[in-house]
Amino acid sequence: MTRYLITGATGMLGRDLQDALAGRDVTALGRADLDVTDQDAVTAAVAGHDVVVNAAAYTKVDDAESHEDDAYAVNARGAAVLATAAVAAGAKLVQVSTDYVFDGNGTSPYAEDEPTDPIGAYGRTKAAGEAAVREIAPDSSWIVRTAWLYGAHGPNFAKTMIRLSGSHETVSVVTDQVGQPTWTGDLARQIVAMLDADAPAGIYHGTNAGQGSWFDFTRAIFSEAGLDPERVLPTDSSAFVRPAPRPAYSVLGHDAWSRAGIPPMRDWRDALHAAAEAGVLSA
């Protein structure tokens, strides 16, 4: 029987991974259970497992600009520590990464083999983690890049918009950042499908299909929640100046799934509807 280890297991994706792997032999370790930068602790935790899914990450994008060392410790060194332990244990590793490894200046979906060129600290640390995993475990690792995540467990954009709808007559949301809203439930199931298919090692883009702006996403959230989407007003990024630059274009291509014989993830609007039906949008 395959034994799975999930790191970052108490986060939004980690919780959905536990659900997607229900009924299997799973060890789920959150941040309080395992410091992914501690090589001895990680080596001991990984021993005896066949697959490690690393959902542990420093994801505070703005804070990373002034705390890049802290982000690097988890996102880059932690990935290297896990890859080293996985190789030593003969285990395979799934490293969850991000659209922020790209500069966001594209106009067509980023291919899996596109060179990375991050524009901020968070993206730099995640790109370094990818590079470490590819170097240490090139034949026994999958890098799954994702973006614009929302889910049932933990704070996220969708829940924030629902909460704001209760206290604001209108919400202003940017139209000049385009990406792929992605339900962590779908992503978790896609990762499990990849593992079950024993897909070739390499890079995969784990985002729901299609594309939309944050404005489009918010109007869809309002519609699914039974709210008037006309309460969502368009604006642009100049209205929300933040420490970390945001990629303007975060649409990822999905060719690797087809090459592996695995259907890519469904359209983001279909996923959002299913998530709403499952009660995910409750604030």
Please give the positions annotated as active site: 122
Half-sphere exposure of 211 (CA within 13 A, CB side): 16
State how far the Cα of 95 lies from the Cα of 203, in Å rounded to an integer: 9
Start-to-end C-alpha separation, the chain: 38
Torsion over CA of 256, 152, 221 and 203, rounded to 10 degrees? -10
What is d(CA 98, CA 127) in angstroms, rounded to the nearest whole number?
A: 8
Whole-angstrom Cα distance, residue 223 to residue 276?
10
Q: Which residues make beta-bridge pairs with 179? A: 212
**Phi-psi bin for 148: left (phi > 0), alpha (psi -120 to 50), beta?**
left
Q: Do residues 273 and 210 touch, judged by C-beta distance below 8 A?
A: no
Q: What are phi and psi of 124, to 5 degrees?
A: -60, -45
Q: Is 160 exposed, middle or buried (0-12, 13-18, 19+ CB in 10 A)?
A: middle
